[in-house]
Each structure stands twice: as structure tokens, then as C-alpha cells.
């Protein structure tokens, strides 16, 4: 076994990690809103991500929509999906709701696999990123002026973290409002919130719709990053990495999501520098093993996560 860490010094490594970490940060902001602030166990977040990415790609490729309109529509469609799935499942509690959201995400995956004329089936879709490529070239020309022209991935990095910053500001702002307070009350005790006159179902629906919109934005960015989407791009693993980010960053902290995501993806990508005399699929398994160890270490050291509040965790039991 050898470890070659020279790549860690290269900027393109960090830009690559940063893009993926940023995408998962946006994705996990939605999970944080659901799990950390509303008490909804949403295990179907990857499904909303798929809805967003496919909606964008299909609108661009099949209906020839301009990219900005397609991206806006993809968020709206994912929100609609959130409302439909939520209306059917949000009256369920805890574990049952979690099962229903997993099933909904499976359903999305099933459609993506089988509606081949629209989604390309298992071959997937590509070629939807022409407008983005043009914008990236324009941005690179500007970046060249400040000496950053040779980092071809830098535009996506900037756009991703700009979107994360906007979403973070919006959610942080909402958290401090009376609306955010009702969400926290629902997280604490639904019956108590209802007894004080709060329409628990309506708030949960709003929470899920906003999370779905964030998943869709993350999905659009992921699609631009990988330039080819197929059903496995949005497998249940994506949701579980999102939950790992949530636990690492700490439940109930929006900013913690970014810390958790950067830590997780740094470890995940750096783990690939550990050269093992093993087949590629086994190396991938070893990577996840290392991530698991890091997760355990953080949980032992800080059970509330990097930015979570220990007192709230203890009080909630």
C-alpha cells in the first residue's frame, strides 16, 4: 500500500471536491430543513434531485427551452412533485413516512429507467449543457484577466457556491421568523403544535416543497458537472450521503451542512489516493470504509455534529 498525496496540493483537486461538496451542501440544506427543523424523515431527497435534473435536461433537449427557463421550471416541477408526494404521505408518522419517501424515490428511478423515449432509459441523457458551456467559457475569459483562466472547472465551482450562499441566506432568514418557529414546534411535538392552532400538515408540505426545490437545484448542478445523467446518478446512496453530511454537520445547523459536506467529500476523494493492490470496485468499498471510520470518529468526539447544539440534542432525548 502506498499513499500519494501530491494531488492534494493541486488546485484542480480542490475545485473538483468543492463542486461536489457544494452540490451536496445544497442538497443537504433541504434535508436539514426537513429533518433538523420540521422533524420529517425525508429519505426520498434523491428522487426530487432526479426530477429536477431530468426535467431540466428534457426541457432543453426535447422542448428546446432556453436553459434559464428550464432550470426555473425544473425547480417548480420538483416542488410540485414534493407537494404531490407529501399530500399522499405526510399524514404518516416517523418510520412510515420514511418508507413512503423511499418508495417515492424508487418510483422516480423506475420511471427514469423505463420511459426511454423521454429519459434515454439506462443510456441516460447528454448534450443538455451547451448553454452552460458557453456561459462557462465567458466566465473563464473574465477569470483569465485575474490569472485564473486555466481552471476549467472554476465557473461551476463559483456558481455552485453562489447558489449555496443564496439558499443558506434565505433559510437562515426564514429560521428566525414566526414561520420558522412553527416548524421547530412541529419538530418538537406535532400534537402540541396542533393544540395551539397550527396546521401541521400545511407546514410539513411547505417544508417538503422547499427541500424538493433545493434538491432540484442540486440535481441541475450535478447534471452540469457530470454532463451525462442516467438513473444511477440519483440512486438512494445520494440520499444516504446527504444524511451523513447532516449528521456530520450537526442537526439543526444550516451552515454545518457545508462543513459536513466539505469534510465528507475531502475524505472521500482523498481516500482514492490510498493505492491498494485491489480491483477498482474493492477500492471504492475501501473508500466508503474510511468515510465510515471518519463518521464514527466524529460521532464519538462530537455526537451533536460539527455545528449541532448538544443541549438541544440532550433535551430532545
Partner 1 sequence: MASRPAAPGGAPILDVRDLCRAFGGVRAVDRASLAVERGSITALIGPNGAGKTTLFNLVTGFLRPDAGDVVFDDQPVTGRPAHVIARLGMMRTFQLTKALAAMTVLDNMLLAAQDQPAEHLARLLAGPAGWRRREAANRARALGILERFRLAAQARAYAGTLSGGQRKLLELARLLMAAPRLVLLDEPLAGVNPVLGREILAHVHALRRERGTTFLFIEHDMEAVMNNADTVIVMAQGRVIARGRPRDVRRDPAVIDAYLGAHAEDTA
DSSP label of 6: G
# binding residues, partner 1 (CB under 8 A): 27
Place of cell 462543513: 259
Q: Please give the helix or strand (H or E) that residue 303 lies within, else none.
A: none
Binding mask 167-196 for partner 1 (x = CB under 8 A): -------x--xxx-xx-xx-xxx-xxxxxx
Measured from the CB atom, the residue of 128 and 175 that comes closer to partner 1 is 175
- What is the DSSP secondary structure assignment for residue 302, as one 8-state letter? -
Q: Does 137 bind partner 1 (CB under 8 A)?
A: no
Q: Does 248 bind partner 1 (CB under 8 A)?
A: no
Contact 266, 21 (CB under 8 A): yes
312 belongs to the binding site for partner 1 (CB under 8 A): yes
Give CA–CA dist 262/304, Å, rounded. 17
310 touching partner 1, by CB under 8 A: no
Q: Quick one: 275 or 316, whose CB is closer to partner 1?
A: 316
- Which C-beta is closer to partner 1: that of 144 or that of 316? 316
Nearer to partner 1, 28 or 207 (CB): 207
Q: Are 108 and 50 in contact (CB under 8 A)?
A: yes
Q: How far apart are CA 219 and CA 15, in angstroms?
A: 18
Binding mask 96-115 for partner 1 (x = CB under 8 A): --------------------
In this structure, the strands spanning 274-275 and 228-229 are unpaired
> Quick one: 59 or 210, whose CB is closer to partner 1?
210
Neighbours of 186 (CB within 10 A): 23
Taking the C-alpha atoms of residue 249 and residue 218, their distance in angstroms, rounded to an integer, is: 18
Using the rule CB under 8 A, is 95 a contact of partner 1? no
Task: Choose between 185 and 216: whose C-beta lies nearer to partner 1.
Answer: 185
93 binds partner 1 (CB under 8 A): no
Smallest distance from partner 1 to CB 313, Å = 8
195-214: contacts with partner 1 (CB under 8 A): 195-200, 206
Helix, strand and coil percent figures for the chain, each rounded to 5: 80, 5, 20
Helix axes 94-114, 45-61, angle to 10 degrees: 30
Residue 76 beta carbon to partner 1: minimum distance, rounded to whole angstroms: 16
Query: Which residues contact partner 1 (rule: CB under 8 A)?
Result: 174, 177-179, 181-182, 184-185, 187-189, 191-200, 206, 311-312, 315-317
Amino acid at each position: 500500500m502506498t499513499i500519494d498525496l501530491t494531488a492534494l496540493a493541486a488546485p484542480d483537486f480542490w475545485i473538483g471536491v468543492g463542486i461536489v461538496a457544494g452540490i451536496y451542501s445544497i442538497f443537504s440544506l433541504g434535508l436539514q430543513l426537513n429533518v433538523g427543523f420540521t422533524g420529517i424523515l425525508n429519505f426520498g431527497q434523491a428522487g426530487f434531485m432526479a426530477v429536477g435534473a431530468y426535467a431540466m435536461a428534457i426541457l432543453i433537449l426535447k422542448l428546446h427551452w432556453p436553459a434559464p427557463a428550464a432550470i426555473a421550471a425544473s425547480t417548480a416541477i420538483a416542488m410540485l412533485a414534493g407537494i404531490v408526494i407529501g399530500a399522499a404521505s405526510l399524514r404518516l408518522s416517523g418510520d412510515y413516512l420514511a418508507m413512503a419517501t423511499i418508495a417515492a424515490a424508487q418510483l422516480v428511478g423506475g420511471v427514469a429507467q423505463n420511459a426511454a423515449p423521454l429519459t434515454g432509459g439506462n443510456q441516460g441523457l447528454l448534450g443538455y449543457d451547451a448553454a452552460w458551456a458557453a456561459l462557462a467559457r465567458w466566465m473563464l475569459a473574465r477569470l483569465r484577466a485575474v490569472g485564473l483562466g486555466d481552471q476549467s472547472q472554476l465557473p461551476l465551482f463559483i456558481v455552485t457556491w453562489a447558489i449555496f450562499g443564496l439558499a443558506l441566506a434565505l433559510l437562515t432568514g426564514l429560521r428566525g421568523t414566526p414561520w420558522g418557529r412553527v416548524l421547530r414546534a412541529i419538530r418538537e411535538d406535532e400534537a402540541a403544535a396542533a393544540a395551539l392552532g397550527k396546521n401541521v400538515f400545511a407546514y410539513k408540505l411547505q417544508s417538503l416543497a422547499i427541500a424538493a426545490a433545493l434538491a432540484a437545484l442540486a440535481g441541475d448542478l450535478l447534471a452540469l458537472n457530470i454532463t451525462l445523467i442516467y438513473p444511477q446518478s440519483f440512486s438512494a446512496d445520494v440520499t444516504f450521503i446527504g444524511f451523513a453530511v447532516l449528521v456530520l454537520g450537526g442537526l439543526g445547523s444550516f451552515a454545518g451542512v457545508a462543513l459536513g459536506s466539505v469534510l465528507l467529500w475531502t475524505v472521500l476523494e482523498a481516500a482514492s489516493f490510498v493505492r491498494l493492490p485491489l480491483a477498482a470496485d474493492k477500492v471504492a468499498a475501501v473508500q466508503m470504509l474510511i468515510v465510515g471510520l471518519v463518521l464514527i470518529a466524529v460521532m464519538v468526539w462530537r455526537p451533536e455534529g460539527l455545528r449541532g447544539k448538544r443541549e438541544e440534542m440532550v433535551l430532545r432525548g
